[in-house]
Amino acid sequence: MKSAANAVPHEFEKKRERLRRRCNDLHFKDGRNKREIRELLGVSRDFVTTWTKERDQDVLVDGRGWKKGRRRSVAEETVELVKKIHDELEADPQEYFSGPNAVRSAWELRHGDAAPPLRTIGQILQDTGRTKPRRARRRRGGAAYLCYPEASLNSELGRLVEADFIGPRYLKGRGKPIHFLGFSSKSPPKFRHYRRIQSQTGAELLAGADALFERFGRPDALKMDNAAAGLGTTSGVRCISSAMFHLFERQVVPVFSVPRKPFSQASIEGNNSVFARFFWNRREFADTREIDRCLIDFNESSLRLAAYQKPPAGTGARFELKVIFLRQVLDQTQGREAGAIQLLNTKIPIRKEYINLFVWAEWRLQDEKLLVQVQRDEALETIKEINFPIHPKSRKRLLKID
């Protein structure tokens, strides 16, 4: 094992000091707000808050509780327990995760006390050769500059769950495709859950949603892609799909992601990657019965990893009869309103200043209005409001919903 006193490279510390100074200067000298600083420097909200408390802060003040330039010292008993838990998770055929998060969850579940910080656990596993350092991903941040309403998704809708189809997958030597349906919640209480389905259809989506609501409690909103299973007919104009009606009856708001932009389904897409790496690619399955049996273990292992607890009944947001569409304004026409978004086979002209920006389009069904909004400073600002009448057949069916 590497010594716990290994020095952190001096250049790294110098870079942190420069970043702290730059953060402070942007706020007090350049007058930038904290959101702009976060996006410009690619740092966290806490970092900006810490280093914009007062003008000309001392960026050399460390406050970490141990000597700067060296790692936190770790008791040998802690190291041995982390190693033991990791090795037991690796050896357990019903466990699918053994990384730092899994070790921390297992520590707290088994011992009933707070585990070491996640970074400490990760460093122990890396130092002992049990994990490899992950390659740093490039931070792009382009969606934030284009006003993607991530903050509004977290604040306006209450508890949001994402859904997505996975597949087709194939068993070795067999040609029949296998499909899965995945669900994910990145807001507390977090979870991921998968089920095998027969086909990627609306009926399977709705049956899976009902089973999910029974198991995990009803969310306030369900976010999907723009496939026909959720969005419905490709020919009708301003029609309410069967999936939308199904969710309305359960007081769940349908949300549709940005077409051809996988990042707008980031939570479920990321969890689908976990599903592929830790479940499907981990072994060769003999048949669907083995898949179903192992999938139960995988789902339970995922819940243990997230330390999931079902939320109390009656804690959700107030239900409103509406549909949310996330869209990117495209260059479609000529003149003043040179941009446009496409909703339910209806083109909505948007002023050219908003071309390429992401918008939040809210269809309020009770008054048949469409509000097109842009997120600014983590709040929604309406840029267009129009009448958006419901198709007569859909309106008649909607009247039956209490």
**370: nearest Cα among 327, 400, 334, 336:** 327
- At the top level of CATH, the class of 142-402 is alpha beta
Compute the distance between CA of residue 274 and CA of residue 26 in angstroms, rounded to an integer: 38
What is the pLDDT confidence band of residue 314, given thresholds at 50, 70 and 90? low
Region 248-260: mean pLDDT is 93
For residue 180, give both structure tokens: 């899965």
Residue 7 pLDDT: 42
Residue 68 pLDDT: 53
Residue 71 pLDDT: 57
What is the tens place of the pLDDT at every residue in 277-291? 999 998 899 999 999
- Does residue 127 surpass a pLDDT of 70? yes
Residue 1 pLDDT: 40
Region 256-279: mean pLDDT is 85
Contact 304, 109 (CB under 8 A): yes
Compute the distance between CA of residue 188 and CA of residue 205 in angstroms, rounded to an integer: 23
What is the tens place of the pLDDT at every residue in 204-250? 999 999 999 999 999 999 999 999 999 987 778 999 999 999 999 99
Q: Whole-prediction pTM value?
A: 0.73
What is the tens place of the pLDDT at every residue in 317-351? 789 999 999 999 999 766 667 899 999 999 999 99
- Does residue 8 surpass a pLDDT of 50? no
Q: 133 or 178, which is more confident? A: 178
For residue 251, give both structure tokens: 């007081």
Compute the distance between CA of residue 7 and CA of residue 68 in angstroms, rounded to an integer: 9
Place of tokens 């306030």: 220
